[in-house]
Amino acid sequence: MSALHDAFALARSEDRALLIGYLPAGFPSFDGAIEAITAMVGAGVDAIEVGLPYSDPLMDGATIQSAVTIALQGGITPADVLTTVRAVADTGAPTLVMSYWNPIERYGVQRFAHDLAQAGGVGVITPDLTPEEAGPWIAATDAEGIDRVFLVAPSSTGDRIDTVAGAVTGFVYAASTMGVTGARTSVGVSAESLVNRTREHTTLPIAVGVGVSTAAQAAEVSAYADGVIVGSAFVRALLDAPTAEAGVAAVADLAAQLAAGCRRTNRT
């Protein structure tokens, strides 16, 4: 059992969903990202997705694209991402990388898996890589003990879910709605159905992302999912902050609210 599985098991034993927070490395700066993520963990985020900034982020909405642009303009590199992973892993929170496939392939598939493991990373989410094309990645992650996370969507058929679930080792990422990432006023109505359909194909944890931004939404999702993924809301808190210090305080406050929403025992 990996550190990621241990975290899900602990959350389950405490009758809550695992809170997973996302932030791109290098945003708002190299040190600023580490400081903000550390504050998020301290305020209740259980696991972290460190985004690897990429110039063509097909799944990302305007908010995350803005953050990624800032990171790239600041000169962030894959090596910097791995350094960020090491710093975040030192907090004790299971740390994954969220990356499109092209940067991993350019870095070197085996080399990336090895270097991530050496940095203390526990897994990688690859939103644009399909299991059918993931042979080299599956071999590399198996060799290094790195968890794989693939996505299912409301449009996924039973056969598709079965294929994805068979390739996953960490958790299944259930996208709550079709389209790009971004905070929304409500979580997609098909999210619960997607989670229930996915449970028919795997015993691994299922975490819901895309559109979750408030404690109320976290509470809604945690009623049926094992994990709640929040990204754009943390990025927006930093983008809107007047100072770096205010940004850190804002993400910590948001993390505390979301963590409270994930605790099923707090509901009335």
Q: CATH number of the domain that 151 lies in?
A: 3.20.20.70
CA distances from 134 to 42, 105, 127, 227 (A): 35, 11, 12, 24
Q: Which amino acid is at 192?
A: E
Name the region of 131 (left: φ>0; alpha: ψ -120 to 50; beta: rest).
alpha
Listed range (130-144, 179-193, 231-245) with the worst mean pLDDT? 179-193
Whether 61 shows a pLDDT value over 90: the answer reads no
Query: What pLDDT score was predicted for residue 188?
Result: 54
DSSP assignments along 10-46, one per residue = HHHHTTBPEEEEEEETTSS-HHHHHHHHHHHHHTT--
Whether 49 shows a pLDDT value over 80: the answer reads yes
pLDDT, mean of residues 30-44: 98
pLDDT, tens only, 159-189: 999 999 999 999 999 997 544 444 444 455 6
226 is catalytic: no
Query: What pLDDT score was predicted for residue 95?
Result: 98
Catalytic: which of 35, 46, 60, 226? 60
Query: What pLDDT score was predicted for residue 133?
Result: 96
Structure tokens, 55: 């110039």
Q: Is 158 exposed, middle or buried (0-12, 13-18, 19+ CB in 10 A)?
A: exposed
Whether 100 shows a pLDDT value over 80: the answer reads yes
DSSP structure class, residue 63: H
Q: What range defines the domain where residue 32 resides?
A: 3-266
Catalytic: which of 49, 147, 220, 226? 49
Whether 248 shows a pLDDT value over 90: the answer reads yes
DSSP assignments along 200-237, one per residue = TT-SS-EEEESS--SHHHHHHHHTT-SEEEE-HHHHHH
What is the average pLDDT score of the chain?
Answer: 92
Query: What pLDDT score was predicted for residue 187?
Result: 56
Query: What pLDDT score was predicted for residue 192?
Result: 93
Contact 144, 24 (CB under 8 A): no
Contact 201, 162 (CB under 8 A): yes
Query: What pLDDT score was predicted for residue 58?
Result: 73
60 is catalytic: yes
Query: What pLDDT score was predicted for residue 183?
Result: 44
Whether 149 shows a pLDDT value over 70: the answer reads yes
Contact 149, 126 (CB under 8 A): yes
What's the number of domains the chain is made of? 1
